Amino acid sequence: MAKIAVVHDWFNCIAGSEKVVKEMMHCYPDADVFSLVDHLTDQQRQALGIHKPITTTFINKLPFQAKFRNYLPLMPIAIEQLDLRGYDIVLSSSHAFARSCLTNSQQLHISYLHTPIRYAWDMYHEYLAQQKRGLGVKNAMLRCVLHYIRNWDRSTADRPDVYIANSGYVRNRIKKTYNREAHVVYPPVDVHRMKVERSKDDFFLAAGRLVPYKRFDLVVEAMKHLPNERLVLIGDGPEMKKIKSLAGSNVEVMGYQSDEVMHDHMRRAKAFVFAAIEDFGIMPVEAQACGTPVIGINQGGVAETVIHRETGLLFQEQTVASLTDAMATLAEVPADFFDPNHIRQHAETFGCEVFRDQLQAVVSQSSIERAKEMRIRKPGERLSSDVENSTSSTSPQSELV
C-alpha cells in the first residue's frame, strides 16, 4: 500500500478547492495532510474527512493570522519546508504554492491545479488596479513581490511529475504558463443535494461573491434594457455598494443568504445568469443540477459545462449588449424549450463520483508508468524493449537495409 500525502495551499474556510481535498480524502482516507496554515475548526476538518492533525508551516505560528495572506513573500520558502520524504505519492491541491512542495526522485507528485497563481499571471494588472495603491512605495513593493513570486513559480514548474487541470481552460493556461501538459478532471459538484423543479417562476437569478471580476455590474446593467423582466441577486462582497447603486427597480439585491435559500431560488429561477470568466465555475453546474438553464459567457469553464441551446445559452462577449441579447432570447423561448430533466442529467456528469473515479484513474495510471520508469535492470537482464529492438534489428527487412 502506497503511503500518500495531501498538500493544500491553506485551510481558512471550506470553498471549492477544499471540496477537492474532501474528495481526495474520500479516495485516500489514510492520507496525511499538509498546508501552509490551518484555521479550520475540528468540525470543519471532520467535514472534509481529515481525522488527523494537519501539518503546517512556520507561517501558522506568526502573529496576525487573520491576515495571513500578508505573509505572501514568505510562502515560497515555507512550502519548501514541508518534509514529505516518508511518502510514496504526494497529491497537491493548488491554486498558489502547494504544487511547488519538494519531493525526491523516488516519489510521485501529482498536482491538481485549480489555476496558475492568478495575481501573478493572468490577473496581475487587475489585481494591481483593485489594490488602488497608486504609484507610491507600497505599489512598487507589491510589484516587486509579485515579480519575485512569478519568477519563482515558473522556476518550480517541473516539480510535479503529473498535472491535473480543473478544466480545459486551465489546461491551456498551464501549457502557456509552465509549458506542461495536463489531464483534465473537472472539480466535484455535489449534485445529489440539488432538487429539480420543473415549474419555474418568472425571474432570473444571479449569485456569488460581489467582486469585480464576477461582473455583476453587467448583469444589473442588462436589466435596465429588460424593464419587463425581474432579477434576484444573492451575494455579498466589496462591490455591494456599487451594485446597489446600479440596480433598477426590477432588481432585488438580497445580500448573503443561506445555502437553503440559494438553492430554493436556483430551483425556481427561469435561468441562472453568470457573466464571469471562471476557471471552472461551480454555481452554473449547481443551477443545472436543479434543472435550471444557465446564461453564461462562452469563455472559461462555463463554455465547457453549459451546452448551448440544450442546457442554457452562451453569449460571446463580456458586454452589456451581448448579455442583454442572451437574456432577451431566453425570456422569449417557450416554457418547455429547456427540459429540466435533461439539464439535470448533464449536470450529473460533474458529480463527486465521477471526480473520484477519474482522479483514481490518473493516480493509478501514473503510478504504473512511474514503476516502469523506476525499474532497475539486473546484471545480465534484458528488458522487453531490448528484446523488441533486438528482434527488429535482426529481421530480414533490417538485414536488407
Distance CA 292, CA 272 (A): 7
Number of domains in the chain: 3
pLDDT of residue 376: 54
Q: In this model, does residue 399 exceed pLDDT 70?
A: no
For 367-400, letters b (16+ CB in 10 Å) and e give beebeeeeeeeeeeeeeeeeeeeeeeeeeeeeee
- Of 128, 159, 184, the one marking the end of a domain is 184
pTM: 0.86
Q: In this model, does residue 392 exceed pLDDT 50?
A: no
- The CATH number linked to 175 is 3.40.50
For residues 23, 29, 33, 38, the Cα torsion angle rounded to the nearest 10 degrees is 70
Q: Are residues 241 and 358 in the same domain?
A: no
Mean pLDDT of the chain: 90
pLDDT of residue 120: 80
Helix axes 137-155, 124-131, angle to 10 degrees: 150
The three three-digit cell numbers of residue 312, written as one number: 442554457
- For the stretch 280-327, pLDDT in tens is 999 999 999 999 999 999 999 999 999 999 999 999 999 999 999 999
Decide: 352 and 23 in contact? Cβ < 8 Å.
yes
pLDDT of residue 132: 63
pLDDT of residue 141: 82
Decide: 235 and 256 in contact? Cβ < 8 Å.
yes
Q: What is the mean pLDDT of residues 68-83?
A: 95
Domain range for 335 is 191-350
- Of 139, 169, 184, the one marking the end of a domain is 184
Q: Are residues 249 and 262 in the same domain?
A: yes
Q: What is the mean pLDDT of residues 52-58?
A: 96
Q: Are residues 84 and 176 in the same domain?
A: yes
Distance CA 306, CA 153 (A): 32
As a three-state string, the secondary structure of 144-176 is HHHHHHHHHHHHCCCCCCEEEECCHHHHHHHHH
Most confident of 6-10, 122-126, 379-383: 6-10
Q: Are residues 197 and 294 in the same domain?
A: yes
- For the stretch 127-175, pLDDT in tens is 777 666 555 777 788 888 889 999 999 999 999 999 999 999 999 999 9
- For the stretch 196-235, pLDDT in tens is 988 899 999 999 999 888 999 999 999 999 999 999 999 9
Q: Are residues 219 and 279 in the same domain?
A: yes
Distance CA 242, CA 210 (A): 10
Lowest mean pLDDT among 26-30, 125-129, 174-178: 125-129
Percent of the chain with pLDDT over 70: 92
- For the stretch 352-361, pLDDT in tens is 999 999 999 9
Enclosing H/E stretch for 125: helix 124-131
- The CATH number linked to 328 is 3.40.50.2000
Distance CA 303, CA 61 (A): 42
Range list of β-strands (E), 209-299: 231-234, 251-255, 271-274, 294-297
Nearest to 65 by CA among 56, 53, 77: 56
Q: In this model, does residue 379 exceed pLDDT 70?
A: no
Provide CB contacts within 8 A for 340, sequence distance 6+. Answer: 196, 197, 198, 290, 291, 292
Cα four-point dihedral sign 396, 397, 400, 401: negative
- For the stretch 329-338, pLDDT in tens is 999 998 889 9
Distance CA 165, CA 280 (A): 10
Distance CA 350, CA 399 (A): 55
pLDDT confidence tier of residue 251, bands split at 50, 70 and 90: very high
- Of 184, 203, 220, the one marking the end of a domain is 184
